[in-house]
């Protein structure tokens, strides 16, 4: 990445997505959102952003375990191949080298699936504040390489609204991350309506991630398939719930990113349309249309047919680059980027996925430590 950059405070890295009010979605891929004049003047049109990265401080994982594990437990994060531990100088050096080798200029950090979702509200609040502060510190140290999503202590809605406000307005987070379910409750449950309403008011970006609970199914978890197939089942179920409940129509200013190419949802477009009457209310738009109102990251373990299907189903302009770091590192990280060029897309579509689509959403302004 070029070392020249605009020196900005981390709270200014994203004024548009974190605090601005976006224009209502029309369903067209060329929708232009309301932008801050200042941010629009300095944000580059092209920026290679990895929208799906993680960072897990050991102290945070210990806190989750002390409070009961946060649903998925912390074992998968603790086993991630991180030299020197998450956030250590050795790990960051290795991470930045991978990013540089692939032309990735910025990585967006998400604490999911290590989410502070607990029955005990105080535990949730304490954990959410801790990890949001840790992420803000990491961004402050490396504003030219990182931006971050905020977590909230769901299912406690009032506390989550308070922490969302703090994270977006004070800490400068670029959006919100949320599990594909919340303690085995659908994200479309009416209990979460105030949460959606506030994100809609703000025009927030919402990045989903599997909660790592195997879609709350013993048929998945009992066979050690929680992550091999459970994660994508959670993605698929999430997207189907969002479609069936008309979330994009009800909250049109929330810009939703679904990970892992939406799970299996791209394979189900005709089926969902043909069986519309089984689960959709009369007068709602066809599922294949609603599905094109989301964005999808490219994480699929570099499976070319899956990316091809997603681009055919949703449009290449609805696809954004993701890696799932630190679970895909080294040669796998390289492949996360390279395989986008192997799908048979036009040069313009490849450039869009790698360098333009995410930046059109986030309007990131890389900074440097002064």
pLDDT digits (tens, 9 = 90+) for 227-266: 999 999 999 999 999 999 999 999 999 999 999 999 999 9
Which pLDDT score is estimated for 35?
35
Q: Strand, helix or coil at 138?
A: helix
- pLDDT recorded at residue 84: 58
- How many residues are present in the chain? 370
114 contact partners, CB below 8 Å, separation of at least 6: 54, 56, 60, 61, 64, 70, 72, 74, 77, 131
Query: Which pLDDT score is estimated for 69?
Result: 83
> Percent of the chain beyond pLDDT 90?
82
- pLDDT score of 32: 29
What pLDDT does residue 23 have?
35
What is the mean pLDDT of each successive set of 10 residues along the chain, which is 370 residues long?
37 40 34 36 89 95 92 88 76 95 98 96 98 97 97 98 98 97 97 98 98 94 94 98 98 98 97 96 96 98 97 98 94 96 98 98 76
Under a CB-based contact definition with an 8 Å cutoff, are residues 82 and 89 in contact?
no
Tokens of 351: 């450039």
- 184 neighbors 237 (Cβ within 8 angstroms): no
Q: Tell me, what's the pLDDT at 85? A: 64
Sequence-ordered list of residues with C-beta below 8 angstroms from that of 369, at least 6 positions apart, any chain: 140, 141, 142, 143, 144
Helix, strand, coil shares of the chain, percent, nearest 5, are 50, 10, 40
Distance of CA 329 to the CA centre of its chain: 18
CATH class of 37-53+83-108+166-362: alpha beta
- As a whole number of angstroms, the distance between CA 195 and CA 189 comes to 11
| pLDDT tens-digit map of 264-301 | 999 999 999 999 999 999 999 999 999 999 999 999 99
Rounded distance between C-alpha atoms, residue 114 and residue 131, angstroms: 10
Respond yes or no on whether the N-terminal peptide bond of residue 179 is cis (omega within 30° of 0): no
Give the list of residues 6+ apart from residue 147 with CB closer than 8 angstroms, or none.
13, 14, 106, 108, 109, 139, 173, 174, 362, 364
Whole-angstrom distance, CA of residue 180 vs CA of residue 242? 10
pLDDT score for 21: 37
**Residues linked to residue 296 through DSSP beta bridges, in sequence order:** 258, 319
pLDDT confidence of residue 59 = 94
């Amino acid at each position: 990445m070029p070392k020249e950059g605009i020196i900005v405070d981390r709270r200014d890295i994203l004024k548009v997505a974190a605090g601005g009010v976006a224009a209502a979605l029309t369903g067209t891929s060329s929708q232009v959102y309301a932008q801050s004049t200042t941010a629009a003047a300095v944000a580059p049109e092209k920026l290679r952003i990895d929208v799906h990265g993680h960072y897990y401080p050991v102290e945070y994982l210990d806190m989750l375990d002390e409070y009961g594990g946060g649903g998925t437990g912390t074992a998968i994060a603790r086993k991630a191949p991180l030299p020197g531990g998450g956030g250590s100088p050795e790990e960051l050096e290795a991470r930045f080298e991978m990013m540089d080798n692939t032309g990735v200029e910025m990585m967006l950090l998400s604490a999911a699936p290590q989410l502070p979702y607990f029955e005990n509200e105080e535990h949730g609040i304490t954990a959410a504040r801790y990890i949001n502060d840790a992420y803000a510190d990491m961004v402050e140290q490396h504003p030219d390489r990182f931006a971050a999503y905020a977590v909230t202590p769901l299912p406690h809605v009032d506390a989550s609204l308070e922490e969302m406000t703090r994270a977006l307005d004070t800490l400068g987070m670029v959006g919100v991350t949320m599990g594909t379910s919340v303690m085995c409750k659908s994200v479309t449950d009416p209990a979460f309506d105030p949460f959606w309403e506030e994100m809609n008011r703000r025009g927030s970006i919402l990045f989903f991630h599997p909660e790592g609970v195997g879609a709350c199914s013993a048929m998945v978890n009992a066979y050690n398939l929680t992550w091999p197939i459970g994660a994508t089942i959670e993605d698929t179920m999430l997207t189907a719930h969002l479609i069936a409940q008309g979330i994009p129509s009800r909250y049109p200013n929330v810009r939703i990113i679904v990970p892992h190419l939406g799970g299996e949802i791209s394979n189900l477009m005709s089926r969902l349309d043909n069986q519309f009457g089984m689960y959709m209310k009369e007068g709602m738009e066809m599922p294949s249309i609603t599905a094109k109102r989301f964005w999808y990251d490219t994480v699929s373990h570099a499976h070319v047919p899956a990316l091809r299907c997603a681009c055919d189903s949703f449009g290449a302009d609805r696809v954004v680059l993701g890696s799932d770091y630190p679970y895909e590192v080294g040669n796998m990280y390289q492949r996360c980027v390279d395989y986008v060029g192997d799908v048979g897309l036009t040069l313009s579509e490849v450039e869009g996925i790698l360098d333009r689509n995410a930046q059109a959403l986030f309007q990131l302004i890389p900074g440097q430590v002064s």
